[in-house]
Structure 1
Amino acid sequence: MTQKLLTLMGLLSICLYSYAQQIIKPGVKTATTFAIVVDNTSYEKTKNALEAYKQSIEADGLGTYLLVDEWKSPEQIRKLLIQLHSDRKSPLEGCVFVGDIPIPMLRDAQHLTSAFKMDQKHDWKESSVPSDRYYDDFGLKFDFLKQDADIPLYFYYSLRADSKQYLSPDIYSARIKPLELEGVDKYQLLNKYLEKLVAEKRENANNVVDYLSMGRGHGYNSEDPTAWSGEQLAIREQLPQLFRPGSTVKFFDFDVNFPIKNTYLNEVQSKELDIMLFHHHGAPDTQYLNGYEEVNTIDPSIENIKRFLRSKIPAFAETKGKEAAIAEYMKRYNVPREWCEEAFDPEKIKEDSLYNLSLDIHTTDIHPLKPQARFIMFDACFNGSFYEKDNIAGAYVFSDGKTVVAQGGTVNTIQDKWPDEFLGLLGAGMRIGQFNRLVCYLENHLIGDPTFHFANNSGIDVDINRALVLEEGNLNYWKKQLDSPLPDMRALALRELCKGGYDQLPELLEKSYFTSDYFVVRLEAMRLLALNYPEKAIKVLQAALNDGYELVRRFACEYVEKNGHPDLIPAVIKAYLERQHESRLNFKLISGLGAFDTNALLQELDKQAANKYFYDSSYVDRFRKQIKQSEKRMQADLKEMFDTTVKPNRVRLDIVVYRNHPNTAGIDPLLKFASDETRDKKLRLAAIETLGWFNENYRRNDIVSGLKQIKTDDKELKNEIEKTIQRLIDGRGVHN
């Protein structure tokens, strides 16, 4: 009887599960497929719109699954995606998560982000990275940790030591998660977006990239005009059609009008706008555009000082008291008392609040808009925080208008990246999903439809979407693309040859760098060489520090610091002496001085300076001083690291500083610390993990050897050693 009951219960369970999950297969046979993953409630509330969305994708030649369930965990979804991708007859090329789909919160994977390095002792909601790389990069392996008690959609995972330690997504993905605004039905918002999307794909299927605008905010890339102009030159190379009669391309800087907010909100609503690129700092609900206005007369300058005082004094007063705060700032800045007292004037507080609102774009500014840009890129921190009820990317996508997809980061993101890598391929009809797959970090996400693409007006007759899926690993195919008339296609060919394991790649990359007239090809070649073959990158890096494209120079400076080979010292000194006027490059050069021996730097500086003519050599003296100061700081940190009387938190900071600056000088001390059984285990773990950030260093094999000599029975230490060794062996893979 018991057995029969169990059997009956099992059958009932299967029936209920079958009822809950629906797998609606593609209605057309195509070479590749796509999947819409949606929760039951969202499906029931927007069924007709979802069916229309599915049909619109299939009308574009991409068979589409509709996967409906009350999804209980990310594992359930990932397993299904892997299964569909493994279909040789018609492999899955991408997916979109519609509605309330579980959100993987990834831990122990900060090296896969561009900039996120928070101490994981903090609240897990803040110190984890919301990332759909869990779903789209099948080579990553994770251990499940827990489901969040407060937000059930959050599922925490730890990246395993035996996982690959770089990103190379197998499929692309995106989120269509409607905003949750007070007084607004989120399902109506979702339905409205899907209807907008379907209409855009039906009515403008032949729309080409012929109108692009770019806007920059204050503080971006040190506000370097050389970096700004360099990007414009590269866009001319990647999308030449934008610069022909009948097309439109615009470049806005934050200081052309004050405040620039109004100009940007007007521009993003320009009819026929195809792509909007935003470069600025950000928060989940804010695009930071302006600081105080730069002024040249006395009264406005005084007002700026007053605003500064009013912004600082109240916070100081909360801990020290009103009178103490006023007295402190009067003394610190030698200003009148009445200027400081204004910080507590209700009218001034209200006035400042309105002024501050005028400086930046907030989600509340976007909701009533009708953005026309079909695709918007947010090169900023947190603007792609789809897990928030309201967020910048979502605000544009779920507004009226024609914006159907946006790219943004779920956490903070680094400024010094290549945001426009492969942008030219959008003009060749590449799906936005494939674009994100090629350039993603752990935090990069698409909000909206990843299958969206523009019509091909690039001048090349190539089905780029088919090639990216069905020609993957076909070395002969990609070698032919090295002669493509489209520079981004040549750069992509280098990437695909690297991914496919082409055995003559280092030689090809070096040749491509030294023979190509295209900025983007040289940058791709240098990056692939520096990231994957640091021991063979010296010659190219030496030349790249003086490349004609600013971003090549800037990336070369970063790779030179991380490589650390002594033969790079002459090129570093030459770059400073000849290009110290480039503020962003200069910043990178100064911050990377610790990578090299101080005496060798000083000797080379004296040698090269002796052969130059100067009207004013003060900048050489400053550089000499900065070299010495860098050495002094580094020695102080190393001394403190090994001082057993120093508090553990301080020692940890001395260790993890090498994450941002993995200088060669830190290798041996970190190995020594990691080997010391008398030190706190958590600090040893930090030292071992930090050594994994040296994966671009010319001595990375020495680190592997040193780690293998550490003998321990402790499971945590053994796991971290294994993971770090894997990171060093993997390098950075073929991606960022």
Structure 2
Amino acid sequence: MKQKLWTLMILLSLCVYSYAQQIIKPGVKTPTTFAIVVDSTSYENAKSALEAYKQSVEADGLGTYLLVHNWKSPEQIRELLIQLHSDRKSPLEGCVFVGDIPIPMLRDAQHLTSAFKMDQKHDWKESSVPSDRFYDDFELKFDFLKQDADIPLYFYYSLRADSKQYLSPDIYSARIKPLELEGVDKYQLLNKYLEKVVKEKQENANNVLDYLSMGRGHGYNSEDPIAWAGEQLAIREQLPQLFRPGSTVKFFDFDVRFPIKNSYLNEIQSEGLDVMLFHHHGASDTQYLNGYEEVSSIGGSIENVKRFLRSKIPSFAEKKGREAAITAYMENYNVPREWCEEAFDPEKIKEDSLYNLSLDIYTTDIHPLKPQARFVMFDACFNGSFYEKDNIAGAYIFSEGKTLVTQGGTVNTIQDKWPDEFLGLLGAGMRVGQLNRLVCYLENHLIGDPTFHFANNSGVDIDINRALVLEEGNMNYWKRQLKSSLPDLRALALKELCKGGYESLPELLEETYFTSDYFVVRLEAMRLLALNYPEKAIKVLQAALNDGYELVRRLACEYVEKNGHPDLIPAFIQAYLNRQHESRLNFKLLSGIGAFDANALLQELDKQVANRRFYDSLFVERIRKQIEQNEKNTQVDMKEMFDTKAKLSRVRLDIVIFRNHPSTVGIDPLLKFASDDTRDKILRLTAIETLGWFNENYRRGDIVSGLKQIKTDDKELKHEIDKTIHRLIVGRGIQNKSQCN
């Protein structure tokens, strides 16, 4: 009876929402459902293709709604998705937004991104995060701010203080927003793409993941070969089927051939390619692959210097004049005058333009291609900027070929993350939409069909898509998966137990880390423990700094910095002394020394150095000098922070530096500043917000206590205090889901 009443309520709600909009219900009954959300104009221009797409998804066992309307606001869509998801008989598992669907531009939520930290005083179009987490994470709460006057699809929202302060999407989502290219009918692009999806689902439904390629660009992860090798080893663990006879796996690096662009564009069109993983820097319309060629010859070195001069002098000349620019660069770099004068040579300008075009991939390179990879991942900034008229992720989707779905970020993204988390589950038939739901940041988006999946060739008999929806919260089910032969499924089980609030999770995570032979399982255990139980993570973090998997070591270094417990100092120093040859780990270690008391670091350094033999100890002196210099800089910054005569802009910088590096030494000064009602209110708000970035610190409880002691009648200050406290304590301990998704 309860189920019947619930179903009736859903139907009545749909009737109310169907006013002035069209709701086409699923044509089949399935355990879960999917929704295609489309604007009225796009529907009229691609009706047959959309209906064929709906039928193809249903043929794959997923009942599909088609929701058509001239959508006026994101709230209209979100409320409808929530209702469909609440259908207990057949809950909504995901959706796709087709055409011109409102774009939520989120503010005051930068802690939910991987790297975005722009001052929100800047233009709202630039300082907001375009994010569909508004639609797929139902527990997030927002205040509507305004609709953009120039771009009506943009709707600005502020994350509320009483909202959940972490991401755990209830459904997956994706965008199919056709490119807007000069002389091209965007609805024709939409039709062709949908027809491509339907054809692929019909003709290659049994296609397995047996061909994967991965390519890296310059500057990625400090170009560390050890990090690069570690990822290849992990791929072997996650997708062992790729390394068996009859399968193909390729690893490309930017410096194996110069320029690498042509090799990548050839590879992306290789017949049979299933997945392409790109690691590089990016812009909305560019995949950055190469810098200047690294050469050892004299002639090549001279030419690189000339190219550098030609790239810099013209802009300097616009400000100071041609002669002043030439003279300045001649003197600064001690180079001949004629090298500088080449910057104004029309032939050289043309030559350089063509040279620069050969280094990177642009959307204009992609449009005429026929990419074959069904799924392409862009581990790069801005490549997933679906809101731009032309963008990298969309260019692959709306080209001819077989690419059905891509993943990329709408804003900048951090390099030191786990880009391949749960990648192995794609081989088990998991929908790409679920992959993005499991590993999302505020900026992560899928472009294309999120229901796409490969046939299961993992050797594990499991309906992973059904389990992710219908077994959520089933502790017994996920405990059984801890013994799976598939490492990524074991790792997923840990995450699902975390989400479900498994009572003995900290103990399980520690035991798993110290007993598992699998890289990805140890990494998942360490991450969940460090991010959710920092007070109980010390023992694991000490060991993880010397783990056999490079990414475990690198992320452990980050968590050690954010944790800040003094007991971590010996392992921190030991990691530097043992592994200073690892360029990316070395970078993380040196950038994290501010987490600890300088005297304690120096004492530990002296203690460990005394028991070692060195042929060359210059690297020891390097960290010693950096510790001492960092301490001097910190003292200067602290003095400036409390100098009432200092420029407000400078004081702000002294405060926000702790967002990137939430050092324990900053806790007490930030609390002192936040509680001082004689200081500028905006700066106090900044200090309070910055304290929210200490959610992984072993002293987060002290921060909460300090914030609660601040007495104020100011609504904005109260709001920020409540929000920061919420970030620090909501879900702590057993119930902490802050990083379980």
Place the TM-score, normalised by the shorter chain, in its bin: over 0.9
Q: Are the equivalent residues in 2 in contact too, given 1:512–1:525 (CA < 8 A)?
A: yes
Distance 2:19 2:524 in 1: 49
Give the equivalent residue in structure 2 for 1:422.
422
1:125 aligns with 2:133: no
Distance 1:19 1:539 in 2: 59
For residue 589 of structure 1, give the secondary structure of its aligned residue in structure 2.
helix
**Residue 345 (structure 1) shift:** 1.0
Q: Are the equivalent residues in 2 in contact too, given 1:671–1:687 (CA < 8 A)?
A: yes
The 1:15/1:574 distance shift into structure 2, 3 A limit, reads closer
**Residue 623 (structure 1) shift:** 1.1
Q: Are the equivalent residues in 1 in contact too, given 2:499–2:740 (CA < 8 A)?
A: no
**Residue 18 (structure 1) shift:** 5.0
Which consecutive aligned stretches of 4+ in structure 1 deviate over 6 angstroms post-superposition?
14-17
**Residue 16 (structure 1) shift:** 12
TM-score after normalising by structure 2: 0.97
Alignment-mate amino acid for residue 738 of structure 2: G
**Residue 315 (structure 1) shift:** 1.1
| Cα distance per residue 1:568-595 (max 9 Å; x no partner) | 0000000000000000000000000000
| Cα distance per residue 1:447-474 (max 9 Å; x no partner) | 0000000000000001000000000000
**Residue 504 (structure 1) shift:** 0.2
**Residue 20 (structure 1) shift:** 3.1
Alignment-mate amino acid for residue 534 of structure 2: P
1:94 aligns with 2:99: no
Give the equivalent residue in structure 1 for 2:391.
391
Q: Are the equivalent residues in 2 in contact too, given 1:386–1:410 (CA < 8 A)?
A: yes
Distance 1:325 1:563 in 2: 48
Give the equivalent residue in structure 2 for 1:733.
738
Give the equivalent residue in structure 1 for 2:172.
172
For residue 20 of structure 1, give the secondary structure of its aligned residue in structure 2.
coil
User: What is the 5 A alignment of 1:611-630?
Assistant: 611-630=611-630
Q: Are the equivalent residues in 1 in contact too, given 2:561–2:592 (CA < 8 A)?
A: yes
Q: Are the equivalent residues in 1 in contact too, given 2:496–2:740 (CA < 8 A)?
A: no
**Residue 734 (structure 1) shift:** 2.9
| Cα distance per residue 1:518-539 (max 9 Å; x no partner) | 0000000000000000000000
Give the equivalent residue in structure 2 for 1:262.
262
1:532 aligns with 2:532: yes
Distance 1:592 1:467 in 2: 40
1:463 aligns with 2:468: no
Give the equivalent residue in structure 1 for 2:10.
none
**Residue 320 (structure 1) shift:** 1.1
**Residue 316 (structure 1) shift:** 1.1
Give the equivalent residue in structure 2 for 1:348.
348
| Cα distance per residue 1:648-699 (max 9 Å; x no partner) | 0110011000000000000000000000000000000000000000000000
Is the deviation greater in 569-578 or in 19-28?
19-28
**Residue 643 (structure 1) shift:** 0.7
For residue 385 of structure 1, give the secondary structure of its aligned residue in structure 2.
coil
For residue 385 of structure 2, give the secondary structure of its aligned residue in structure 1.
coil
Distance 1:543 1:332 in 2: 48
| Cα distance per residue 1:121-151 (max 9 Å; x no partner) | 0000000000000000001000000000000
**Residue 17 (structure 1) shift:** 8.3
**Residue 65 (structure 1) shift:** 0.2
Distance 1:305 1:20 in 2: 64
Give the equivalent residue in structure 2 for 1:646.
646
For residue 26 of structure 1, give the secondary structure of its aligned residue in structure 2.
coil
Distance 1:133 1:621 in 2: 47
For residue 56 of structure 1, give the secondary structure of its aligned residue in structure 2.
helix
Give the equivalent residue in structure 2 for 1:381.
381
User: What is the 5 A alignment of 1:323-722?
Assistant: 323-722=323-722
Distance 1:19 1:677 in 2: 52
1:48 aligns with 2:45: no
**Residue 33 (structure 1) shift:** 0.2
Q: Are the equivalent residues in 2 in contact too, given 1:439–1:735 (CA < 8 A)?
A: no
**Residue 188 (structure 1) shift:** 0.4
Distance 1:734 1:108 in 2: 19
Alignment-mate amino acid for residue 669 of structure 2: P
Give the equivalent residue in structure 2 for 1:9.
none
Alignment-mate amino acid for residue 148 of structure 2: D
Distance 1:128 1:528 in 2: 29
Q: Are the equivalent residues in 1 in contact too, given 2:384–2:409 (CA < 8 A)?
A: yes
For residue 734 of structure 1, give the secondary structure of its aligned residue in structure 2.
coil
Distance 1:197 1:619 in 2: 55
Q: Are the equivalent residues in 2 in contact too, given 1:382–1:412 (CA < 8 A)?
A: yes
Q: Are the equivalent residues in 2 in contact too, given 1:436–1:445 (CA < 8 A)?
A: yes
**Residue 373 (structure 1) shift:** 0.1
**Residue 613 (structure 1) shift:** 1.2
**Residue 617 (structure 1) shift:** 1.0
Alignment-mate amino acid for residue 418 of structure 1: W
For residue 38 of structure 1, give the secondary structure of its aligned residue in structure 2.
strand
Distance 1:27 1:458 in 2: 31
| Cα distance per residue 1:295-314 (max 9 Å; x no partner) | 01001100000000011111
| Cα distance per residue 1:578-627 (max 9 Å; x no partner) | 00000000000000000001111001001101111111111111111111
For residue 94 of structure 2, give the secondary structure of its aligned residue in structure 1.
strand
Is the deviation greater in 637-646 or in 704-713?
637-646
Q: Are the equivalent residues in 1 in contact too, given 2:254–2:289 (CA < 8 A)?
A: yes
Q: Are the equivalent residues in 1 in contact too, given 2:498–2:740 (CA < 8 A)?
A: no
Q: Considering only aligned residues, what root-mean-square deviation do their CA atoms show, in Å?
A: 1.1
User: What is the 5 A alignment of 1:307-318?
Assistant: 307-318=307-318
Is the deviation greater in 409-418 or in 341-350?
341-350
Q: Are the equivalent residues in 1 in contact too, given 2:17–2:80 (CA < 8 A)?
A: no
For residue 672 of structure 1, give the secondary structure of its aligned residue in structure 2.
helix
Is the deviation greater in 347-356 or in 443-452?
347-356
| Cα distance per residue 1:321-379 (max 9 Å; x no partner) | 11111111111110001111111111111111110000000000000000000000000
Alignment-mate amino acid for residue 173 of structure 2: S
Distance 1:232 1:198 in 2: 33
Distance 1:286 1:124 in 2: 23
**Residue 15 (structure 1) shift:** 12
Figure out how many residues of one structure are paired with residues of the other and give that number.
723
Unaligned runs of 5+ in 2: 1-13
Alignment-mate amino acid for residue 243 of structure 2: F
Distance 2:99 2:444 in 1: 19
Distance 2:18 2:580 in 1: 66
Distance 2:638 2:99 in 1: 50
The 1:422/1:326 distance shift into structure 2, 3 A limit, reads same
Distance 1:618 1:300 in 2: 31
Give the equivalent residue in structure 2 for 1:221.
221
Alignment-mate amino acid for residue 514 of structure 1: F
1:300 aligns with 2:305: no
Q: Are the equivalent residues in 1 in contact too, given 2:285–2:390 (CA < 8 A)?
A: yes
1:192 aligns with 2:201: no
For residue 121 of structure 1, give the secondary structure of its aligned residue in structure 2.
coil
**Residue 318 (structure 1) shift:** 1.2
Alignment-mate amino acid for residue 34 of structure 1: F
The 1:274/1:15 distance shift into structure 2, 3 A limit, reads closer
Distance 2:643 2:723 in 1: 27
Distance 1:512 1:314 in 2: 58
Alignment-mate amino acid for residue 316 of structure 1: F
Q: Are the equivalent residues in 2 in contact too, given 1:166–1:735 (CA < 8 A)?
A: no
Alignment-mate amino acid for residue 690 of structure 1: T
Q: Are the equivalent residues in 2 in contact too, given 1:495–1:734 (CA < 8 A)?
A: no
Distance 2:581 2:617 in 1: 13
| Cα distance per residue 1:543-582 (max 9 Å; x no partner) | 0000000000000000000000000000000000000000
Distance 2:209 2:158 in 1: 41
1:34 aligns with 2:34: yes
Distance 1:517 1:630 in 2: 38
Alignment-mate amino acid for residue 263 of structure 1: S
